[in-house]
Copies of this chain bind each other. A is one copy, B any other.
Amino acid sequence: MTDLQAVLDSIHTELQPRIGEGKVADYIPELAKIDPAQFGLSVVTVDGKVYSVGDAAVPFSIQSISKVFMLTLALGKVGEGLWKRVGREPSGNAFNSIVQLEQEAGIPRNPFINAGAIAVADVVLAGHEPREAIGEVLRFVRYLADDETVTIDDKVARSETQTGYRNFALANFMRAYKNIDHPVEHVLGVYFHQCALSMSCEQLARAGLFLAARGANPMTGHSVVSPKRARRINALMLTCGHYDGSGDFAYHVGLPGKSGVGGGIFAVAPGIASIAVWSPGLNRVGNSQLGAVALEMLAGRTGWSVFGD
């Protein structure tokens, strides 16, 4: 599929003058230091071909994209019982909102808002010391990406630990409703470290390829989840993956996807390919500005939208 590389090249070329647009996340001090003038895009097709442009090999902080891997891990541990702890509906509120938690007795709306992801981290933590759980998360992501060089950036994790007051509020609030079982510091220890996973677009696209390929990574042969679970995780990404910008992302891009404040977006074209894009400047709702534009161009030019070609 030579023309896929051509599509990526054309996107890169057209976006070149806009690289640096948007505003780098500054609420986590360590992230505020990133040079905004970076852009990478990788596509891995289900037949194992890799297409990349720009800074696709530069590692960045995947932040909330990690919630997809954590959800996968938690579903593996407790299965559909997870949904007693967290909902599956779009929240209609910002990613760090606490209002809904109070109105719905401490059950977060979905696993991709912060509260939901913290509840998921609590599930992953069960039976472990925090260090062990963090180790398990790292091993799992390395296994998915088939790449032992994936790391966690401790400086980012520490930076967020020191300033993540809202996340401490969310976790304590859920603990008050007994929807967090472990000490808040332990749960957030896992949460802040998963968010600090540092991966390149290529690593990320490989790691998520199983979601495009009926639950198994065709490059490694590793079976990760059942085809049904892969579909369901994709459904959750589509309805909830971009917080209160999820409807807009579906409208413009039409692919299941998950964004992170580090400027990355991971997306899935079911049956076709997994995609990772990175550009640190964020738009008004906290998603990568050029990342979203690039994905809209990609979906438009390939006809990969799940809503029709």
Interface flag for A309 (CB, 8 Å):
yes
**A92 CB contacts on chain B under 8 angstroms:** 89-93, 100, 109
A250→B307 CA distance, assembly (Å)? 13
Q: Mark A75-99, 1 if CB is under 8 A from B, else 0.
A: 0000000000001111111000111
Interface flag for A222 (CB, 8 Å):
no
A309 contact from B173, B214, B256, Cβ within 8 A: B214
**A97 CB contacts on chain B under 8 angstroms:** 102
Nearest-CB residue, chain B, relative to A163:
B176
Nearest-CB residue, chain B, relative to A308:
B270
Interface flag for A50 (CB, 8 Å):
no
Interface flag for A62 (CB, 8 Å):
no
- B309 near A239 (CB under 8 angstroms)? no
Interface flag for A61 (CB, 8 Å):
no
Residues of A162-187 at the interface with B, using a CB-CB cut-off of 8 Å, are: 165-166, 168-170, 172-173, 175-176, 184
Number of interface residues of A (CB under 8 A): 57
- B251 near A236 (CB under 8 angstroms)? yes
- A165 near B172 (CB under 8 angstroms)? yes
- A98 near B89 (CB under 8 angstroms)? no
Interface flag for A279 (CB, 8 Å):
no
Shortest C-beta distance, A27 to chain B (Å), equals: 9
A166 contact from B88, B176, B228, Cβ within 8 A: B176
Contact A271/B170 with A89-B247, A247-B89, A251-B232 known, Cβ cut-off 8 Å: no
Residues of A2-25 at the interface with B, using a CB-CB cut-off of 8 Å, are: none
Contact A227/B176 with A232-B251, A250-B238 known, Cβ cut-off 8 Å: no
Interface flag for A107 (CB, 8 Å):
no
- A234 near B93 (CB under 8 angstroms)? no
Number of copies: 4
- A239 near B235 (CB under 8 angstroms)? no
**A165 CB contacts on chain B under 8 angstroms:** 172-173, 175-176, 184
Shortest C-beta distance, A75 to chain B (Å), equals: 12
Interface flag for A139 (CB, 8 Å):
no
A251 contact from B88, B244, B251, Cβ within 8 A: B88
Interface flag for A305 (CB, 8 Å):
yes
A90→B300 CA distance, assembly (Å)? 23
- B235 near A251 (CB under 8 angstroms)? yes
**A44 CB contacts on chain B under 8 angstroms:** none
- A307 near B248 (CB under 8 angstroms)? no
- B307 near A234 (CB under 8 angstroms)? yes
Given A235-B250, A238-B307, A270-B308; 5 other pairs, CB 8 A cutoff: A98-B98, A165-B173, A166-B173, A231-B307, A256-B307
12 residue pairs bridging A and B, Cβ less than 8 Å apart: A88-B247, A89-B246, A90-B90, A98-B101, A165-B175, A169-B172, A214-B308, A231-B305, A235-B251, A236-B251, A239-B246, A240-B247
